[in-house]
Structure 1
Amino acid sequence: MLFSKTRKIMALCQTLLAFWLDLYPCRGICPARLPDRETMNIPNFKKLFMPDISADAASLIHAIASATAVIAALIAASAMIIAHMTSDVKNQQAEVPVSRGAQAVTVVHESDVQARLEIEQLIEQNDALRAELERERAERLKLEASLKPRALTPQAHDAFKALAGELKAKTLAPVVLLNIHKDDKEAVRFAKEIAVALTKAGVQVQIKQLPLQKHNTGTQVVVYAGVGGDELEQAFKTADFASDIKRSGQSPRVKVDDGDAIAISAFISVYPRSEI
C-alpha cells in the first residue's frame, strides 16, 4: 500500500511538470485566431511549435524539474526506509516465537534434569530407609532372642545323643564342671537343662558356683586335654548352645565334695543373658 501511494505521488508530480511545460509554448496562441497560410509556413511553423524561451523561463522550468526530481527521490528513499523498517519488524516478530520456543525447550530440559535429580534423591532416601529398617529388624530380633529363655534345640539334643553313643562305644566317662549363677533364674534353668542332657549322654557333671564377673554373659565352654575331650568338643560345636567354645591343652583337677581331686575334661559357665 505504501509503494502504491508513492507511485501515485510521483506520477502526479510528473503530470504537473508536463502540464507546465505544455502550457508555456501555447501561451502565445490566441484561441480566437486560427493559423493562416502565412502562419503555417516553415519559419512561422517553427515559431508556433518551437517558440523562443527566455533564460528566466528556462531557469524556472529547470528549477521545477529539479525540485520534482528531488521530491521523487525523497519519496522513493522514504519508501525504501519504511520498507526496510517493516522488514525488520517482521523479522523481529518472526524471531519472537523462535526465541520463545528455545526458551520453552530450555525450561523443559531444566525441568527434566530437576525431575531426574529428585528421583535419584528419592531412590537414595528409599535405600537408606530400607537399610535402617533392616538394622532395626536385626536389633528387634536380637532383643527378642535376649528376652526369650534359652533352651537346647533339637539339633543340640541330637548332638548329645550322638555323644552318648561314642562314649559308650569307647567306654569313656569324662567329667564336666558346670558353673552357674544362682541369682539368675533363667541361667539356673538353662544350666540344669544342659546338665540333664550331658548326664543322659554318659558324662559326669559336677555343679559349682564360682565368683561371677559382671561383664560375663552368655554360655562359655573350655575343653581341656582330658578323657573324651575330642568327643566333647565335637558335640558342643554341633549342639551350638554356647556363645564361645575354646580348646586348652591343660588338664586341671578339681576337688568334688570331700573326695579326692579329679581331672575335668571341660568347663561350662552359664552366665546371665545380659550384664547384671
Structure 2
Amino acid sequence: MDSSQEDRPGMGISAALAYLSKSPGKRLRPQLLIAAARAIGNARGESLAAAPAEAVELIHTYSLIHDDLPAMDDDDMRRGRPTLHVAFDEATAILVGDGLQAKAFELIASEEQLTAQQRVDLVACLARASGFEGMVGGQGMDIEATQQTLTVEQLKNIHALKTGALITAALVMGGIVGQASPDQKATLKAVGDKIGLAFQIIDDVIDVRSDSTTLGKTAGKDAAAGKSTYVALMGLEAAETAALDLYEESVALIKNWGVEADVLRELLARMVKRDR
C-alpha cells in the first residue's frame, strides 16, 4: 500500500467490502439458483432461495478476488474497476476473500427456514464445487497448464472444475431448496455441466471480439499469459458453434418442464447470447 492509501481513514476490510458492494457484477449464479428452485414448481422453495443464492455469489466473488492476485492470474481490472488488491493491497484482498468464503457457509447454516437436511446438502454441494473437486482444483490445473498447448478435452476438464462446477452447483442447490426429485436434480446437474462449458467457450470468443472496456476486465489476458483457449484450439467460428450446440442441448434437457422453468430457459440463453 502506498503512503496516500495509508493516510486515508477507513482503509481496510470494511472499506474493501464497501468497495465490493458497488461492483456491477452479473449476479448470474444466484439467479440460476433461484430460477432452478422456481423451475421445480415449488413456490415455497423459491421463497427460501435467498440465503443460498447469496452464499453462491459470495463464493464467486471470493474466487474472483483470489484469481486476480499477482500469484494467480495477476489482473488489474475486474468488473470495470481496479481489482481489490490494486484498490487496496494484497493482504486485504486475501483476507476479504477468506472472509467471504466463510460467510457463505454461515449464511446457509443459519437459515432456519430450511430443514437441517437441506442445510447439510447445500453446504456439502457448495463446498465440493468450491474446493479441490471444483474451483480450487481447476485453478490449480489452469496454473500448471500455463505455457502448454492443451487438447480441447484437457481444456474442458480444467474448465469443468474452474468455471463449470459453481454454475452446476448453483442449479443443483436450487433443486435442493425446491425439494427436487432425484431425477430433477440429475437433470439440473446435466444442464449445469453443459451450460457451464458453453459459458466458458463464449467467454473465450468474447475475449477475442471485445475490448477491455466492454468486458470490464483485461481482454486477451489468457492468450498473453500463454494459456490455451477454445478459440486458439478450435478457431473462432467452431468455438462459437460448439457453445451454441451445448446451449441447445442444455435447453433440450428441460423441454418438458412447465412454464415454471421459463426464467431458467431465459437465463441459459443469456449465458451464451451475450457480448460481455
TM-score (norm 1): 0.22
TM-score (norm 2): 0.22
Higher relative contact order (CA 8 A, sep 6+): 2
More helix by share: 2
More strand by share: 1
Decide which structure has the larger Cα Rg and report it: 1
